[in-house]
């Protein structure tokens, strides 16, 4: 289909990458503004091991990782980290405690992270200039 309309599918990957980056930047920023102590306390309430560590790591990953996704830098590695985050978010936290409606966005972000990890950054990405030159 892409060949018929003449649009490279890599541009679809770019749209997914940038949309996820924006979502993560906003989520990470909100976690910092609300206080990482509150994030850590919530993680502890959900019985997540090392809640204090993850309460700082996850907001940092989302804020910095989101910026890097927008730029298209280290996309596959960030995808892998977000896969880990959203497996926990969807299947440990959201679905068991809040149900389908609360977890569906986390499931979609998990799918997007899998896509970025496996397929790469798409077009208009710094990775294409450096990490994936040969691809």
pLDDT in tens, 31-47: 999 999 999 999 999 99
Q: Take residue 8 and report the two structure tokens written for it.
A: 């490279």
| Long-range CB contacts for residues 57-60, cutoff 8 Å, separation at least 24 | 58/28, 58/31, 58/85, 59/28, 59/31, 59/32, 60/28
> pLDDT value at position 48?
95
Percent residues over pLDDT 90 in the chain: 85
- Averaged pLDDT for residues 45-63: 97
- Averaged pLDDT for residues 97-110: 94
CA quadruple 19, 22, 25, 29: dihedral sign:
negative
Percent residues over pLDDT 70 in the chain: 93
Is a pLDDT exceeding 80 seen at residue 116? yes
Confidence of residue 129 (pLDDT cuts 50, 70, 90): confident
pTM, full prediction = 0.89
How far apart (Å, rounded) are the C-alpha atoms in residues 51 and 82?
A: 17
| Residue 91 and residue 98 in contact, taking contact as beta carbons nearer than 8 Å | no
Confidence of residue 132 (pLDDT cuts 50, 70, 90): low
Average pLDDT, the chain: 92
């Amino acid at each position: 289909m892409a060949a018929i309309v003449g649009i490279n599918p890599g541009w679809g990957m770019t749209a997914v990458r940038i949309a996820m980056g924006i979502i993560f930047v906003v989520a990470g920023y909100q976690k910092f503004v609300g206080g990482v102590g509150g994030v850590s306390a919530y993680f502890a309430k959900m019985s997540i091991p090392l809640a204090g560590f993850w309460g700082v790591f996850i907001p940092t990953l989302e804020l910095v990782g989101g910026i890097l996704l927008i730029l298209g830098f280290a996309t596959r590695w960030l995808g892998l980290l977000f896969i880990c985050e959203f497996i926990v978010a969807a299947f440990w936290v959201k679905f068991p405690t809040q149900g389908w409606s609360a977890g569906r966005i986390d499931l979609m972000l998990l799918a997007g992270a899998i896509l970025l990890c496996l397929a790469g950054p798409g077009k208009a990405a710094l990775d294409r200039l450096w990490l994936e030159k040969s691809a």
